[in-house]
Amino acid sequence: MPALPDTPDFIRSVALVGGTHGDELTGVHLVRAFLRNPRLVERPGMNVTPLIANEAAVAAGRRDLGHDLNRAFAAADLANPELDAYEQVRARQINALLGPKGPSSKTDLILDFHSAASDMGLNCNITGEDPWLFRLVALAIRRLAEHTEPLAVRCYQFPAPAGDAPYLPSIARHGLGIEVGPIAPGSMNAEIYFRTRRLALTLLDLVAEYNQGAWPDETLSLDVYTQVATIPFPEGDDGGLGTMVHPERIRAVYEPILPGDPLFVGFDGAVIPYGGEAGLFPTFVNEPSYYPKNIALCLARRTQRQA
Binding stretches for Zn ion (CB under 5 A): 21, 24, 114
Per the residue annotation, which of 87, 129, 146, 179 is the catalytic one? Answer: 179
The CA distance from 223 to 157, in Å, is: 10
Shortest distance (Å) from residue 68 CB to Zn ion: 9
CB of residue 29 vs Zn ion: minimum separation in angstroms? 14
Helix (H) or strand (E) holding 136: helix 131-145
Beta pairing partners, 127: 158
List the end-to-end C-alpha distance of the chain, in Å, as a whole number: 17
Q: Say if residue 277 carries a ligand binding annotation.
A: no
Is 174 marked as a binding-site residue? Answer: no
Output DSSP code: residue 156.
E
Residue with smaller CB distance to Zn ion, 22 or 282? 22
Q: Which is nearer to Zn ion, 22 or 99 (CB)?
A: 22
Long-range contacts of 263-269 (CB under 8 A, 24+ apart): 263/231, 264/233, 264/234, 264/296, 266/242, 267/236, 267/242, 267/243
Residue 47 CA: distances (Å) to CA of 96, 103, 108, 110, 256: 17, 18, 10, 12, 41
Residue 29 marked ligand-binding? no
Q: Is 287 a catalytic residue?
A: no
> Between residues 123 and 211, which has the closer beta carbon with respect to Zn ion?
123
14 contacts 204 by C-beta, under 8 angstroms: yes
Nearer to Zn ion, 24 or 108 (CB): 24
Provide, rounded to whole angstroms, the least separation between the CB of residue 179 and Zn ion: 7
Least distance from Zn ion to the Cβ atom of residue 44, Å: 31
CB of 242 to Zn ion, least distance (A): 27
Query: What contacts 151, CB < 8 A, 6 or more positions away?
Result: 122, 144, 145, 195, 198, 199
Complex with Zn ion: residue 24 or 130, whichever CB lies closer: 24
* H or E segment to which residue 111 belongs: strand 109-115
Closest CB to Zn ion: residue number: 114
Q: Which residues contact 45 (CB under 8 A, 6 or more apart)?
A: 10, 12, 208, 211
- The amino acid occupying position 264 is F
- Binding-site positions for Zn(2+) read 21, 24, 114
- The catalytic residue positions are 179
